[in-house]
A and B are shown apart, each in its own frame.
Chain A
Amino acid sequence: MPSVRPALADLRARIGEIDGTGARQHGVLPFEVRELDRRLPQGGLSLGALHEVAGGGQGAVDGAAAACFVAGIAARMKGQVLWCVTQADLFAPGLAQVGLPPERVIHVEAGDDISVLAAMEEGLRHGGLAAVVGDVARLSMTASRRLHLAAKGSGTIGLALRRWRRQADASDFGQPTAAMTRWRVSELPSAPLPVPGVGRARWLVELIRARAGDSFDLELEACDGAGHLRLPADVADRSAATAGGRHIAVG
């Protein structure tokens, strides 16, 4: 968010330090999608912070789209990724296709949520990792605060992939946590193709909560082979016109 007055920028940074946003010390990871980055308070996901991602609908249980979204974020970082799970159903070839090759991921299989959280905290405190991901169902305020502080101390990005055993438990996602942002990724019908087949996957990416920012939702095309999201072509045209930016004359 560019600021005109230096005094205001300084104040904002000081407030940021107090409320633990931590973006100033560790920088941000932009999505490189202008529509998305523009609406995020720091112009991207702040590093050294905890972020929450969940799937919508059936995705709250299987967490497939959320896993791709998270893997795409981790893929665009540099270094090793620690991925802690309770159910070992991640398929490494699938992750490799969104840009996270197997030699970059260390998997940890823990017996329960508490061990997952402990392993995540251990990973976040270490500081040598690019990102720490954890599949957790229950994330209390205390636990998320601990993770967030650990991430803030080391500058590693923490990604809590919320995933529940039953659809009914997904209401837990409304409970407050200390995470910087909270995302919901739901699958949408893919881009229609002129021939029979499945097109590039589309997601409805909702930012449900962001500290010092507004929530929004956006229809996006799923991660490509390098973990980049993309604005669908039809939506891109529309939003450019409504935003009153560039006008493209089509003959």
Chain B
Amino acid sequence: MTVSRAQALVPDLRIEADDASADAAALDRLALWLLQRVAPIVSADPPDGIAIDSTGADHLHGGEAAMLEALAGKLALSGITARLALADSWSAAHALARHGADGVIIVPPGASDAALAPLPLEALRLPVATVAGLRDLGFETIGDLMDQPRAPLTRRFGAELCRRLDQARSLASEPIAPLRPEGLIEIRRAFAEPIAAPETIARYIGKLVVQLCTELTAKGLGARRLDLLCARIDNHTEVLRVGLAVPQRDPARLTRLLCDRIVTLDPGLGIEIMTLTATIAEPLVPRQAATSLLEETAPDLSGLIDTLSNRLGARSVFRFAAVASDVPERAIIRIPPLADTATPSMDTWPDHWPRPSRLLPRPEPIETMALLPDHPPRWILWRGVRRHVQCADGPERIFGEWWKRDAEAHAVRDYFRIEDEAGARYWIFRQGDGEDRATGSHRWFLHGMFG
């Protein structure tokens, strides 16, 4: 379509000149952003794609589905319309992202063939002439090709067709060459003989870390994220990613963090190249250790936090902070353990009412007998046990957040603190104010336990 014709069809059309080099640069920037946040192996796939090898990285983000969902959300927030697909091979993911259904596609391991079968032939990244030739022969989808004898196809269309088909079905390997931006601090070591023993790997990790720290010191930087890429002799890359709470360049500590995770590396028949990069490096200036003789300095916990968060996942080590919300389950937020604790919204929870020490993950429905609208129940039946209420405090009325959610415009919860005859104290609430059905279902729930 010519520009004049497009302008005739759509009034006020904005025209921008095609700038392929700027597009490629922007794609590289996006790939670098993903490299620092998602996985150690990321590569720009021009003109319009990015390939990520998420093996060994998804658990840090809470699983594959959670990782893709978070990624889609982040991209949408930065104004990028993206289609995401996750599959066994690069080719399959490439095809599904471009020719599959809208939204996020996750193909479970081993199910690539079924997912690929209905896609058109263009999804295989074949030359136009090959696709046209296959169409002439009556092939429409990838599924049509899968069960065909390969020799005649190869003789007619060349080796490219079967190679692409094998790559898509993960029968042939297609490594992703990781993006390595300018200025990235990278230490590489190739071995004359492949290494596989954990002790040997640990020794060479130590040597790489020392070299890396020397370079970091020269630049006045500290590592926030380290990636160790181990190229195996069978053309497969094992990765190990380590995150740090604060910039570090202490060789002993970095070595320990990496060596803790050696068990997750599968050396296979042997590793021939090890590459250690400081994917995220931040300025780290020397500090004076003790400034005051009178004040005791707070102990440095970053080493402990790094060890724990690399072992259990970064989401597993956290601190709670207050959020300005009356709804109990929304009043807390998890923040990184070394985050600045002065949250802008609110610094502490209101202290007028006692709060339980244990809060159930979701309120559990209970059966009660209670005088409506404002009396506590006489008894409750929870998990099959009937408890008689001896004394109670309440109600503490909590209104829904009508300024945030339309569904909670009229919602009300009345909380009671009750004590049974044995002395156990519970936090229960009634959905609704006890009079008006619009405020809630009037069902009772148990929400927490007091000590």
Contact = CB atoms under 8 A, between A and B. Distances in A.
A97 B355 contact: yes
By CB atoms of chain B within 10 A, which of A91, A92, A115, A225 has the most?
A91
B424 A94 contact: no
A102 B312 contact: no
Interface string B418-429: 110111110000
A222 B355 CA distance: 14
B320 interface: yes
Contacts of B358: 62-64, 67, 89-91, 94
Given A89-B358, A106-B319, A126-B303, A198 B423 contact: no
Interface in B305-336: 305, 307-308, 311-312, 315-322, 328, 331-332, 334
Interface residues of A, number: 62
Nearest to A109: B316
Nearest to A88: B361
Contact of B425 (A71, A115, A198): A198
A119 interface: yes
Nearest to B450: A64
B425 A196 contact: no
A94 B348 contact: no
A214 interface: no
A2 interface: no
Given A58-B424, A65-B451, A119-B312, A103 B304 contact: no
Contact of B451 (A68, A79, A101, A129): A68
A187 B423 contact: yes
Contacts of A189: 390, 419, 421-423
Contacts of A65: 357, 451
A155 to B, nearest CB: 12
B28 to A, nearest CB: 37
Nearest to A97: B355
Interface in A200-223: 201-203, 222-223
Contacts, number: 172
Contacts of A107: 317-320, 334
Q: Is the interface of B mostly helix, strand, loop or mixed?
A: mixed
B351 A103 contact: no
A22 interface: no
B301 A128 contact: yes
Contact of B319 (A102, A110, A193, A223): A102
Interface string A105-146: 111111100010011001100111100000000000000000
B101 interface: no
B448 interface: yes
Interface string A185-202: 111111001001111011
Contacts of B117: none
Contacts of B419: 189-190, 198
A89 B341 contact: no
A98 interface: yes
Nearest to A64: B449
Interface string A36-78: 0000000000000000000001110011111111010000000
Contacts of A122: 304, 307-308
A80 B301 contact: yes
Contacts of B317: 106-109
A198 B359 contact: no
Contacts of A79: 298-299
Contact of A106 (B301, B311, B360, B391): B301
A127 to B, nearest CB: 8
B199 to A, nearest CB: 22
Contacts of B305: 106
Given A64-B358, A69-B451, A105-B320, A198 B301 contact: no
13 contacts: A57-B422, A58-B424, A82-B304, A89-B361, A91-B356, A92-B320, A93-B331, A94-B355, A96-B355, A105-B320, A128-B304, A129-B301, A189-B422
Interface of A: 57-59, 62-69, 71, 79-80, 82, 88-98, 101-103, 105-111, 115, 118-119, 122-123, 126-129, 185-190, 193, 196-199, 201-203, 222-223, 225
Sorted nearest first, the 10 A-B pairs with minimum C-beta distance are A128-B299, A68-B451, A64-B449, A92-B320, A91-B359, A65-B451, A94-B357, A93-B355, A187-B423, A93-B349
